A and B are shown apart, each in its own frame.
Chain A
């Protein structure tokens, strides 16, 4: 298995903020079409791809939406005001380039402010380089959403780019779809919408699928940087098997099963006790009568910035763990 940098680069560069995932959905659909038995798009826009098999009904969720900025106002000079879609930090956003679905590029700046620690989104604006409101309205409408515009970078160890969250999860799912030839289990790969605003796509898709087991793929933090707060996850130390985050305590038996698979196949792994944040797993495990659910996390530094960084080895190990898990006779 080779690290497919081309695919990951395309994934992180494709437009698809929460609530407007059309483009990234089309892209992913094109990637997996030939490898799955059926594809459904549900009313919220989740992409549900099934690889039929005889065993357990397993739902694998990676969210394809990304955080962004929604325009709420256009002033007479053509400056755009915005609100956040998902967890947007004003400090990360200041001085960034942003790009709209139609390719319009803007830059983010702020009103003069004495104390920079008081920077708020309501004091910031997007400048798309027009002369007045009329010109702006030809390019952008109220309700349009833009995303960070930044280059993809990599070296032999790591990738650093915008939107690893959670296009790297999508990448892991796609690569796993391609690798699994004769699925033992009945696999539903769901590329979910609206995770960043409250795990919404996973909720409705899990209801539809009613799986016996759920697995979420997402990024987690990495606290191996100078003076970082205590958190036992670092880059290049293996894929992460989640114990908890704010949305779930993962199913103990499923977690142990995942650990066993990792051990049997010599896949390096770390255990993740995350004290904040949530993942699609939180929605899945509460579905209907309750679904034993776990999560595979990709350790990532600087989450929700334009320089999210993950280790290629960890990504490859995540693909391997997922593939081996899905190819096994899961019993809890």
Chain B
């Protein structure tokens, strides 16, 4: 399986925050071929360990994280006629879910559609107002009685969307945030199977990033790495967004600059990218990044953190777009960076 195939499987599967375990088999079967050990921790993070060259037990530890959870919806109420009321898990623009086909993940998966009041029945003044999520319903075609034992309050819902290739290297699908990050980690572990590295590398597919980075907090605590690197997505440039707030598609990963990021390691990352001619961009975030890197940084005595962002358009919709070259370059950059870190040079890089 190559990274693109993994991305396709992951994008077409569902793993709403808190309910990621459906993805376990796919991720484990991809990483186990290259890893020395794979485990699942108490909150559900999948930790794949690839040991470094000098396995005397005192290797430095580098943790990579891509979050396996995705935004989605959740059943909050079932009307007497079987219509399902729902809430969002993670940040969702309600305007983007209207008219979508969905899968309700109950005891079995049910197909449904999201509807609202038809335009004919609306006042003129309503037409320009966005419809609130609380006014939308999911119709699964069954009555409340039919749904007994099949759908419960708390079941998750995902938008039904098929992963597709667009022109060139562009790909579209749902939940590429942050399945693209997992694909990049997968690319990295494949690269590392051909490169020597001193450090023990922990590839962590984290849970619940979209709901407060829970998995990254606890996973980092458990591993207690010397370096933590979050691989997430960044805002791909589109005409309506200010240039300074975005990174460009197809021009390589964004290397984050800001307080969340260790300056010495970031310089090293840039140096490695230049040395191997891997394209990269800068992404400026002065405060906490809102990625797993934030959780890593403030865990235990403080973990030096880095963050790479894969450019992604239309974030948190079901038609996210990424460029496969960016994913591959992210994986390569990670691998070469990891190979450049040794037991000897680490202290110097971390020194202020």
Contact = CB atoms under 8 A, between A and B. Distances in A.
B337 interface: no
B214 A273 contact: no
Nearest to A252: B19
B21 interface: yes
A273 B221 contact: no
A130 interface: no
Interface stretch (B74-82, B190-198, B273-281): B74-82
A289 B211 CA distance: 17
Contacts, number: 76
A229 interface: yes
A249 B210 CA distance: 11
A291 to B, nearest CB: 7
Contacts of B152: 271
B245 interface: no
A272 B208 CA distance: 19
A289 B154 contact: no
Interface string B203-235: 000001001101101110110000000000000
A243 interface: yes
Interface string A261-302: 000000000111101000000000111111110000000000
Given A243-B153, A273-B76, A252 B18 contact: yes
A285 B75 contact: no
Nearest to B223: A289
A275 B87 contact: yes
A299 to B, nearest CB: 13
A251 interface: yes
A268 B232 CA distance: 43
B89 interface: yes
Contacts of A271: 152-154
B211 A286 contact: no
B94 to A, nearest CB: 13
A142 interface: no
A285 B89 CA distance: 18
A41 interface: no
A232 B215 CA distance: 28
B110 interface: no
Contacts of A252: 18-19, 21
Contact of A244 (B41, B42, B154, B219): B154
B42 A289 contact: yes
Contacts of B18: 244, 249-250, 252
B335 to A, nearest CB: 28
Interface residues of A, number: 25
Contacts of A286: 212, 214, 217-218
A102 interface: no
A292 B21 CA distance: 14
Main secondary structure of the interface of B (DSSP, over half): mixed
A288 B211 contact: no
Contacts of B222: 288-290
B87 A292 contact: no
Contacts of B42: 289-292
A250 B211 CA distance: 12
Nearest to A229: B134
Interface in B2-29: 17-19, 21
A3 interface: no
A331 interface: no
Contacts of A250: 18
B85 interface: yes
B87 A288 contact: no
A244 B74 contact: yes
A225 interface: no
Nearest to A270: B153
Contacts of A231: 76-77
B85 A230 contact: yes
Interface of A: 229-232, 243-244, 247, 249-252, 255, 270-273, 275, 285-292
Chain A to chain B: the 3 pairs with minimum beta-carbon distance, closest first: A249-B18, A290-B218, A243-B154
Given A230-B134, A243-B153, A290-B221, 12 more contacts: A232-B153, A244-B89, A249-B89, A273-B74, A273-B154, A285-B43, A285-B214, A289-B218, A289-B222, A290-B41, A290-B218, A291-B42
Interface of B: 17-19, 21, 41-43, 45, 74-78, 85, 87, 89, 134, 152-154, 208, 211-212, 214-215, 217-219, 221-222
30 contacts: A230-B76, A230-B77, A230-B134, A231-B76, A232-B76, A232-B77, A232-B78, A243-B154, A244-B18, A249-B17, A249-B89, A249-B211, A252-B18, A252-B19, A271-B153, A272-B153, A272-B154, A273-B87, A273-B154, A285-B214, A286-B214, A287-B218, A289-B41, A289-B218, A289-B219, A290-B42, A290-B43, A290-B45, A290-B217, A292-B42
